[in-house]
Each structure stands twice: as C-alpha cells, then as structure tokens.
Structure 1
Amino acid sequence: MTDHNHYGGDPESLLSVSYPNAQLSDLVLTIENRRRLWNVVMEQRQWDKITFHGLQPVRRLLFTGPPGTGKTSTAQALAGELGVPLYTVRLDLLTTHPKDEGEAEFRQVLDTLMQTYGVFVFDGVAEFTEDNRWILVMLQQFLMQDTSKSVIIVASNRPRLLDGVIFEQCDRIVNFGLPTSDEARAIIEGQLAMFDLRNISWASVLTAADGLSHAEISTVAGSVAEHVMLTNAPVSWARHLTAELGRARQ
C-alpha cells in the first residue's frame, strides 16, 4: 500500500510525497534497463564505499518514452528498493502560474528537496514557451548545484524539447519503449497469475496488444481478471483478452 501526502495539503500541489513498496522485480523491463536500474540501487546501497575511492555513484537519471511505458512505476520501484520516500514535482502545474509566483513556489520546493533524502521525480517536462522557460532554467540550476545523495529523475515524453544542459547533468538516460510481444505476454501473465493460462492461444492476444503501452495492457488484463473473478463464469481467455485489447485501441 502506498500512502500519499501532498505538500501544502493541496491535491493539485506542485510537490507530492508517497512511500512505495514496489520492487524492480515487479516490473517488466528490458534486460538493459533492468541492469542500469539495479546498478543505481547497488551504488546507493554502497555509497560510502564508492565515494571513499573518489568515485561518484550514478544518481541523476533522464527517463524518456511515451506515456504509460513505465517511467512512473520505475521511479516508485527505485524508491521501494531503497526504502525512501518518492517526491514527485509536477512541473506542468507551474506553466499556469504567473512567473514571480511560480518561481517562489518552485524555489520553496527545491529548498525542501535539498534538505531531505529520497527519490525525486521532475515530471511533466514537456514543451515550454519563451514565457515559461524559466522553469527549465531553475531545474538546470538545481541539477548543477545539488550535492545530495538523492536519486533525481527527470521524466519526459518529449526529450528532444529539453535543453542540452539537462542532458549533460544526467548521469544516465533510460529509454522506455512500447513493450515487445514477450514483454506484453509477461505483463498479462503477471496480472492473471492466479489463473491457469496453459491452454491459451497467444497469437491473437499478442497481435491485439501490439502498439499498446505497458499501462494499457496491464489495465486491460487487470479488468479481465476482475470480471472473471466477479462473474465466476467460464471464459475463453484468448477471445476475451483479444476483444478487450482491441477496445483499448479505440
């Protein structure tokens, strides 16, 4: 169970904090992404040993990829692995603020983050107009000045719109793509783990899942599982999943 508290008590607050218990093993990840993320966890756990030898652990990450491909759930799993809070900063909310008000609120949030240890996610990093590019400038300054142990994640669906300075300040880029057929099957099997799927015909199911995100496939499979449990009726898994995945495209 994850508890949520919002900075300032506002559900639309710029900063929110949660306490995930997710693990990386819960996620369907590419082999390369799993390796990179485990390295981050292990380096955090061996911080003193690494810094004793004059090295700096990897802790600034740029997450890129389409919506629903696992950026948020991966940040939650990193926080869960490390046993620390997950702080999420909704940068998109700043675009609706007058500059002076927004700068003051963002500065207050950054000052709070610099005094604590956790996983920080700067979300909603998308297209900024000339009127609100100050948001990126303040984020760049924070990345350059922060000397904490915290894991910092900049999450973007459109990385081409980011300034080069942000790329330069990130230690690793982790790309999240749409799931392969094997990954789609793993997502579905994970959601339907309580059922016997040995006789399912996967071809039509995976064809229907092609092009959908991790989140979309997971939601469909979870809904099918709930329906089967509630109705307790016989089900043709392939037909039911194929139909529901097809609806998710519409």
Structure 2
Amino acid sequence: MSRADLIVSLVKAGSEGDQQLLRTTVEAMAAEERAKQHHQLADRLVQNLGEGKARPRSPEVVRSYDGGHGGLLYEIEPRRTLDSLFLADAVRAACGELIEEQHRRDLLRSYSLEPRHRLLLSGAPGNGKTSLAEALAHELMTPLFVVRYEAVIGSFLGETSGRLKRLFDFVRTHQCVLFFDEFDTLGKERGDTHETGEIKRVVSSLLLQIDALPSHVVVVTATNHAELLDRAVWRRFQLRLEMSAPTEAQKEKWFVRLQEKLGTPLGMAPKTLAAKLPAVNFSDLEQFCEDIQRRYVLALPNANLKQIVSERLKQWRSRFTVDQST
C-alpha cells in the first residue's frame, strides 16, 4: 500500500475509532519501515500499538535483525533462486503468479484486492519444499523465518497457543516469508480421537492466527503427510501445490547442468546416468552431484571424471539396495 493510502487509513481509523483498521495500518507501516532498514522507527510504531501503552515484548521471539537465534523463529538467508529449481510447470507458473502479485500489490489494492500469500506444499521428503520456500523469499527480497517447533510447543496447558500468538505478533510487522516445515506437527486433524483437547485448541488458534495475517506476510507450509492435516487447514491456503519426485527428463537436465558447471564431459551421457542412478528425490540428486564435485576437486589436476562418476554411481546403487532392504 502506498504511503498516502496508509496515512488516509490511519486518519480514518482514528476518526472512526476502528481499532482493527488502526492495527492493520500500523503493522503495514512498520513492515515498510523494516524493509527500508528503519528498525528503530518500526519498533517505536509497534511499541505504541495497542490499548494506550506499549505491548510487552517476549524474549522468546527472535529479532532476526539483531542477530538472535534462540527464540521461536530462526532466519535463513535466501540463496536459491526460482530458476535454479527443477519444478513442474504448474508449480512454477503458480509461484510466478504469487511473486507478481506480491510485487504489484499496490496496483491490486487500488482495486480493493489483496495478493495471495498462503501456500501449502505437500509431497514426499526431499522434493524441494524447503528449497521452494527459500526461493520465494529470494525472489520477494524478504527474510525467510522458519518456525522452531521445539521452542513453540510447550508442555503446559495453554503454553503453545500463547507462544503462537507471540510468534504471529512478531511476523505481522515484517515483510517476510514465514515457513512451517512438517506442518502436520501443528495442523493435525481435530477429529483424531488420539489427540488431546489441548492439541485441538492449538489447531484452532493456529488457523485463526493464519487467517489474521496481513498479505505482506507470505505463509508457506510444508507437509509430508497431507492426510494428517485438519480439513479446515486446506481451505485456508489459496495455493495448494504437490511437489513431485524428479522425472527422468528432470534428472537428465540436472546432469546436463552439472556437466556445464564442471566444464568437462562426465564420461557418461546425462541421459544414461539419469537412467542408472536410483535417485528417488531431488535431495538424492543434489547429494550425488555434490559427491562427484568433491571427489573431482580433490583429484585435481589429474582428475579422471569418468572414473569418479562410475565409482560414485556404484556406491550410490549399493546404498540404494541397502535402503530398500531395511
């Protein structure tokens, strides 16, 4: 939202006594100031937001810009780009649309529309859910905050809901990507007879907090077990994307990229290598290529890349056989 629109909203909230509009406007202003590195001004805005007095700050919340790493969140510096990822066409197109909407949110708001900002990723482990969250943060030029479940989930009644509230109070005043990995840890089906009333209350609190987030906070959640998620969780997310395992064509492109990076033939056609490597996810592909690069660098200047690739392939095929048998 433009600064002029924010000022108009602020005046309107004050004249009408609209506390919700006041809070939303001040949070948006604080997020803009943080994006400009004006952290002291942003802190003062947040401190003076509330019922006539500064709201207490929780020492458990990580203030990323102060370098803290011991609270409810930790920050990852986004390095991956969207172009560096191998994504299905539908996933790439959807992410591109979300990025465009975020970058052009002022135009959307001039038509009383908000950009989409809630994304649910599902699929087997190792297929790029965390990497996609990082890439979105990189493309949006915002911090990536990852929820620390060990700090959020408490052992006493009501503790977890209270921590979740403090977490969301913090992120509301930041332009950021908020990432929940293994979201089924918190978003479990409330009809599960094995879960306690406390867990059900946590899910309800979590969904309400997600609903109340402003659109400058892009929420990305990831789950390996979509069937465990509460049914109400699904409708909270405007984008629901399946992260699939690599196809043979994607494996081949991966090895073409590796060959270009090394600047020398692999000694085996990328298509042949893709067919021979029993990689079941993108994480396996990445580790295999890093393995080759390490051995290649250590063997310079007399590195025999064909031999290295053959040895690594043999080792990984053996490893896959062991994994299958256990």
1:32 and 2:90 are equivalent in the alignment: yes
Which protein is bigger by CA-based radius of gyration? 2
1:110 and 2:175 are equivalent in the alignment: no
1:68-87 map, 5 Å: 68-87=126-145
Measure, in 2, the Cα distance between the counterparts of 1:144 and 1:102.
18
Structure 1 residues 203, 17: closer, same or farther in 2, change over 3 A?
Answer: closer
One-letter amino acid matched to 1:223? D
Q: Deviations over 1:81-131 (max 9, x none)?
A: 111000111346645633333222222111111121111111221254513
- Note the C-alpha offset of 1:238: 5.0
**Range with bigger deviation, 80-89 or 20-29:** 20-29
Q: Scaled by the length of structure 2, what TM-score is found?
A: 0.68
Measure, in 2, the Cα distance between the counterparts of 1:212 and 1:96.
36
Structure 1 match to 2:289: 221
Runs of 5+ unmatched residues, structure 2: 1-60, 189-193
Measure, in 2, the Cα distance between the counterparts of 1:235 and 1:211.
20
- Indicate the RMSD between aligned Cα atoms, in angstroms: 2.4
Measure, in 1, the Cα distance between the counterparts of 2:206 and 2:279.
33
Between the aligned residues of both structures, percent identity stands at 21
**Range with bigger deviation, 94-103 or 142-151:** 94-103
**Range with bigger deviation, 170-179 or 193-202:** 193-202
- Note the C-alpha offset of 1:133: 3.4
Of 197, 201, 206, 2:274 maps to: 206
Measure, in 2, the Cα distance between the counterparts of 1:210 and 1:39.
34
Q: Scaled by the length of structure 1, what TM-score is found?
A: 0.87
Structure 2 match to 1:67: 125
Aligned residue pair count = 244
1:234 and 2:308 are equivalent in the alignment: no
Q: Deviations over 1:58-96 (max 9, x none)?
A: 211101111110010111111111110001113466456
Structure 2 match to 1:243: 314
Measure, in 1, the Cα distance between the counterparts of 2:75 and 2:100.
23
Measure, in 2, the Cα distance between the counterparts of 1:7 and 1:248.
40
**Range with bigger deviation, 206-215 or 41-50:** 206-215
Structure 1 match to 2:44: none
1:154 and 2:221 are equivalent in the alignment: yes
Q: Deviations over 1:132-176 (max 9, x none)?
A: 233322221112222332211111111111112111110011110
CA contact (8 A) 1:126 1:156 kept: yes
Of 116, 121, 130, 2:195 maps to: 130
CA contact (8 A) 1:217 1:245 kept: no
Structure 2 match to 1:165: 232
Measure, in 1, the Cα distance between the counterparts of 2:291 and 2:151.
31
Structure 1 residues 137, 104: closer, same or farther in 2, change over 3 A?
Answer: same
